[in-house]
Amino acid sequence: MPDHTESRPFIPLGIAVLTVSDTRTFDDDKSGDTLAERILSAGHRLEARAIVTDDKEKIRAQVEAWTLNEKIDAVITTGGTGFTGRDVTPEALEPLFEKTMDGFSAIFHRISYEKIGTSTIQSRATGGVANATYIFVLPGSPGACKDAWDGILKDQLDYRHMPCNFVEIMPRLDEHLKRSKG
């Protein structure tokens, strides 16, 4: 069974949070607040936070800029994962992915199913890696953000989590880029 080991140090990561919404502001962004609070409570650094409208180019530009910032190890977005015409976050970000994280979506839906049943199929939560930066694309509800952080990200973004975690493989995320340059 997975566990934490105290023989490893905690390594704080730099994390950015992007809320995708046509209506939210920092005054009423409960999902962004939920993620920010959890990130800081876990001991990580909230390196950046922004809100952009449901626009593919704006979403992609913000996330891509963050993936090029050496202080940012992971980007978490919230919003725009549904099926309505304005829900375009997966379409905006999946083209950036060098690697897709199918397991993130599968585990997110398993956790979500336990809470909201078949309604979980109305989310297109996804994850991937771009420019050696993890990207997690979450639904816009505070509950979904709690589920993703508490059930997946809190452990996978903690170097002490065993038997494996995202932190320990971070130095190798860009190996393919280094090889191709040689």
Q: Does the pLDDT of residue 178 top 70, yes or no?
A: no
Residue 181 lies in a domain: no
Residue 78 lies in a domain: yes
Taking only the tens place, the pLDDT of each residue in 116-142 is: 999 999 999 999 999 999 999 999 999
Say which amino acid occupies 159.
Answer: Y
% of the chain exceeding 90 in pLDDT: 90
CATH number at residue 74: 3.40.980.10
Q: Which two tokens stand for residue 122?
A: 């109305």
Residue 3 lies in a domain: no
Query: Helices marked H in the chain — which ranges?
Result: 30-41, 56-67, 89-93, 102-116, 142-148, 154-156, 166-169, 175-181
State how far the Cα of 40 lies from the Cα of 46, in Å rounded to an integer: 7
Taking only the tens place, the pLDDT of each residue in 59-80 is: 999 999 999 999 999 999 999 9
Q: Which domain holds residue 58?
A: 9-175
Residue 163 lies in a domain: yes
The pTM (predicted TM-score) of the whole model is: 0.94
Count: domains in the chain: 1
Q: Does the pLDDT of residue 162 top 60, yes or no?
A: yes
Residue 63 lies in a domain: yes
Residue 4 lies in a domain: no
Would you state the pLDDT for residue 181?
44
Would you state the pLDDT for residue 1?
59
What is the pairing mode between strands 45-52 and 74-78? Answer: unpaired
Residue 1 lies in a domain: no
Tell the burial category of 29 from Cβ atoms under 10 Å away from its Cβ (0-12, 13-18, 19+).
Answer: buried
Residue 126 lies in a domain: yes
